[in-house]
Structure 1
Amino acid sequence: MTQTAIPYLLMRGGTSRGPYLNRADLPEDLETLAEVLIAIVGSGHPLNIDGIGGGAAVTTKVAMLSKSQDPWADVDYFFAQVSVEDKLVDFKPTCGNILTGVGPAAIEMGLVEAQEGETQVNILAVNTQARVAAVIQTPEQQVSYEGGARIDGVPGTSAPIAVQFMETVGGVTGAFLPTGNRVDEIDGIAVTCMDVAMPMVIAKAESFGLTGYETAAELDENRAFFDQMEALRQKAGALMGMGDVTKSVTPKFGLLALAKAGGTIATRYFMPWSTHPSMAVTGAQCLASCVLTPGTIAEGMAAKSNETPANVILEHASGKIEVAVDYADTATGFEIKSAGLIRTARKIAAGEVFIPRSIWAGR
């Protein structure tokens, strides 16, 4: 054969989509693995015409699963963000939307045995070492994808998947506030640099002459804003101890504005070289944590709840997302304990995806 066959599931996880692969079916070394993933997705063309990507950052994501050796976890989830056009693979971040599909995919792959009614799958996010408990609907010990749960950014309804994120603080940088400050000024713009589930640089939309209510398409057309944001993001990455982030998708970037649709606060999220059409699950946790933390860039922009967990509703480009954040604000400091969300996923296809044998001949 002139091509190598690799078993895969194509799944939507939250508001993202991509192939879910068994890590055992892939090359061990990351350099070869990156070439394999580029070929699978079809990176290098704006339509990913020679692969199964969808021509957008939210459809060029890859989940790789394996049985976990961690005493707590059932499955290890190794994530890769493949670029649409640049043939780049970033193994540093994780993705909470794609993670939504990990529980169902692990059961479908036979890595986890389904229970009657509901199945809890404990997931170790390898990239950041976050621990996530996902509850999957499994009537008659089969994954159900049908139900009444709706998430903005996805048409229709599906079975709910409850995800609880734990130990997400400092997963990449080692610190809740990587610069040591709740507000930094970079290029004359006040920002908060925070690492909760995803390292982020967060600013007010008005600091860039924006309302914060622009559509994703309007923001993507504003290249002057992206140039300004990217220069700031790179400097912030260095201040956060992340080194040269020129070719890395982290830290991500977020904008805040006053809520106008009944939520807690209005947000826009960047991936970072394009605008997210809705909201990343990891980004939502970081933005919600920023809203709750005293003294950050979000201070005074939203009414704070004294209850814990606190429900923070983020307005985004496609609607809203609600995050339940368990936190403690004590005399010794502010602590994020966990964050919970309801998401959905769906299996779209299953079979084999083929790559040129010249890239990798298989195991």
Structure 2
Amino acid sequence: MRSRRVLLAVSDDVPIFEVAIPCEVFGRQRLDLMDPWYDLRVCARDPGRTRTAAGFVVGTAYGLDQLSKARKTDTVIVPACANVLESSPPDLVAAVRKAHARGARIVSLCTGAFVLAEAGLLDGRRATVHWIYADRLAKRYPKVTVDPSVLYVDDGDVLTSAGVAAGLDLCLHVVRLDMGPRIANLLARRLVISPHRPGGQAQYVQTPLPQTDDKGLAALLDWTLRNLERPLTIADLAKRQRLTPRTLIRHFRAATGMPPLKWLLLQRVQKACSLLESTREPPTRIAELCGLGGEANLRHHFARIVGVPPTEYRRTFERASA
């Protein structure tokens, strides 16, 4: 296997946070998770040293011509713009447009969407950006359907994210598409991603759940994960652990940060995610295998926790596989 190349396009006065995110996710070698990992190449108009908005200097070993030579298996990431009031650098716009024409996947973080829009890659598409800049993006590029309410939008070959930490969600989503949910979840745990981002924002990323060092509950949790299809209750779990329900709830909160039934529901939805990604089982069967009863119950809990219906979630990964 060859490493998947990620081409990070930076320019003078680029915000440091949106540069740091892809460097952390794709640039740090994590061969214990996947070998090979990604091959991150930082590209700039003038290779050498590029100064960020915070005054830090980023080493850029590659020029923008790397984007023009992008392969179909490459991902081009455009971080936030230095100033959305100014026009996007023409050479960067041209390089991104050419990379897309060659089949590369194009990703923008926050106001990097302005570069993609200037390149015409967002025409007729739904896209997102930090909500502060949503109106400006929509007015400047009326052919773009701007949705400021979501964390990110995956439109197949073009992906856009909202501001700041939402870029981390999108980069993790890219890892999930490329390497599968298990590797993405392991990476998420290392990055200490919160198990929930409130606000009703669509979130395809399956984030890690609180782990426990409580050896007294470890066996119970393992047994529960192997028996998710069963109609488990607090009384069932307490009986198996030889505790009263009240004592079990107290231990569960201390160990996992949540009550037993909430933990159980999240595990069931997590299993549903895995089955939707990796099998062709119908929703009714997935609901049974996860202990969620019927298809309606699956749809209700899945949409509430993940942010999208099960069918849409499955289509995302089918598109990625195709």
Structure with the higher fraction of residues in strand conformation: 1
- Higher RCO (CA 8 Å, separation ≥ 6 residues): 1
**TM-score between both structures, scaled by the size of structure 2:** 0.30
TM-score (norm 1): 0.27
Give the number of the structure whose alpha-carbon radius of gyration is greater: 2
